């Protein structure tokens, strides 16, 4: 139904307008009682789907990637579509509008999206007010820095977000890999990244002791454009800083073998969807093999089918996340993946 009726109508709208319209529609339908209908259609409940990763128990291994619910507005509602966890953000300390519009583009022939949103969000403290309500699903907090914050002061922004979200999310994702904030990817270099993660770990420990709770898992989200040497550095950094895992991968700045019109493929921003699928899986496999599976990996990038999800899990991912595949395939994709996993359980 989604691909036959809903998607064609949404694709008549500008991509960003379609996103906000979808949010409004989901919110409205949930308020008038459709939550139970969505759950009956899409949720697959089975103990065999449960996964325990970095100390958390996930109902199933399929999550919604960051960037979809930036401001933590519908995390509970998205659980009704069968997701085992929802990652909100990227959140920054101060609200920011992001980059000028248009900034979101569909590459239909490639089943892909290019975005240069630029961490548009209402700020971490605004999101916290919504996160105070009860959660029906595990929630990850994806954190970043404001555009106006220079890199040599970036640690402060990440710490503000960590402190604000500590009581309200189940894990943290450190985003230093978006291509849409100038200079952000420079923080992936070994020295600044090590310093950032060590500081986050230190404050995470202090907050845990203060609140008499366990430390929150901290994951690093990396770009698919890193070289093998840089990926080896990532393995070393994860081990040296003792963070809990890696999310592989963010969007790519590569534009290889695309079929869509140049008017779209030459747009600046990060490319997601099918074209990044193979590279994401390569990165997952490299990290898993070279590290000896020393840390958990969340695989994301180009998952548009059950087969795509299984490939990432077989390559070494412990969990997977959807974004562009969810837009092109609809919520039935979550159910199909979980059903396929049960066949192999």
User: Active-site positions?
Assistant: 178
Question: Is the omega angle on the peptide bond into residue 321 within 30 degrees of 0, that is, cis?
Answer: no
Task: State the angle between helix axes of 154-165 and 124-131 in degrees (0 to 180), rounded to the nearest 10.
Answer: 10
Stretch (H or E) spanning 173? strand 171-175
* CA distances to 10, 218, 294 from 7, in Å: 5, 35, 40
Distance, in Å, from the CA atom of 166 to the CA atom of 215, rounded to the nearest integer, reads 9
Query: How do 85-91 and 138-143 pair as beta strands?
Result: parallel
For the chain, the maximum distance between any two Cα atoms, rounded to a whole number of angstroms, is 55
Beta-bridge partners for 304: none
Rg (CA), the chain: 19
Residue 260's Cβ-side half-sphere holds a number of Cα atoms within 13 Å equal to 21
Encoding tokens for residue 157?
A: 């922004």
Tell me the residue ranges of DSSP E strands in 182-337. Answer: 218-222, 245-248, 270-273, 297-300, 319-322
Helix (H) or strand (E) run with residue 139 in it: strand 138-143
Number of helices (H), then strands (E), belonging to the chain: the values are: 13, 13
- Is 137 within 8 Å of 110 (Cβ atoms)? no
- 105 Cβ contact partners less than 8 Å away, ≥ 6 residues apart: 15, 113, 114, 115, 264, 267, 269
């Amino acid at each position: 139904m989604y691909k036959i009726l809903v998607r064609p109508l949404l694709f008549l709208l500008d991509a960003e307008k379609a996103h906000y319209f979808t949010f409004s529609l989901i919110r409205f339908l949930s308020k008038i009682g459709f939550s139970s209908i969505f759950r009956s259609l899409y949720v697959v409940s089975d103990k065999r789907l449960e996964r325990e990763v970095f100390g958390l128990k996930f109902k199933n291994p399929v999550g919604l990637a960051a960037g979809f619910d930036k401001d933590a507005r519908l995390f509970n509602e998205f659980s009704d579509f069968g997701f085992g966890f929802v990652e909100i953000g990227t959140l920054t300390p101060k609200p920011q509008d992001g980059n000028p519009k248009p900034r979101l583009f569909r590459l239909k022939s490639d089943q892909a999206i290019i975005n240069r949103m630029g961490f548009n969000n209402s700020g971490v403290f605004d999101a916290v007010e919504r996160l105070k309500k009860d959660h029906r699903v595990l929630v990850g907090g994806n954190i970043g820095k404001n555009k106006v914050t220079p890199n040599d002061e970036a640690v402060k922004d990440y710490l503000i977000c960590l402190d604000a979200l500590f009581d309200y999310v189940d894990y943290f994702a450190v985003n230093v890999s978006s291509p849409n904030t100038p200079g952000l990817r420079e923080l992936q270099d070994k020295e600044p990244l090590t310093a950032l993660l060590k500081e986050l770990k230190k404050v995470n420990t202090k907050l845990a002791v203060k609140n008499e709770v366990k430390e929150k898992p901290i994951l690093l989200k990396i770009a698919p454009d890193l070289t093998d040497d840089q990926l080896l550095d990532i393995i070393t950094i994860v081990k040296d800083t003792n963070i809990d895992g890696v999310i592989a991968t963010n969007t790519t700045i590569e534009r290889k073998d695309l079929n869509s019109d140049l008017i779209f493929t030459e747009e600046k921003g990060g490319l997601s969807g099918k074209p990044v699928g193979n590279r994401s899986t390569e990165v997952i496999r490299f990290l898993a093999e070279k590290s000896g599976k020393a840390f958990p990996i969340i695989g994301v990038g180009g998952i548009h089918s059950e087969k795509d999800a299984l490939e990432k899990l077989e390559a070494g991912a412990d969990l997977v996340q959807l974004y562009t595949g969810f837009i092109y395939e609809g919520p039935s994709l979550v159910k199909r993946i979980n059903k396929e996993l049960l066949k192999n359980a």
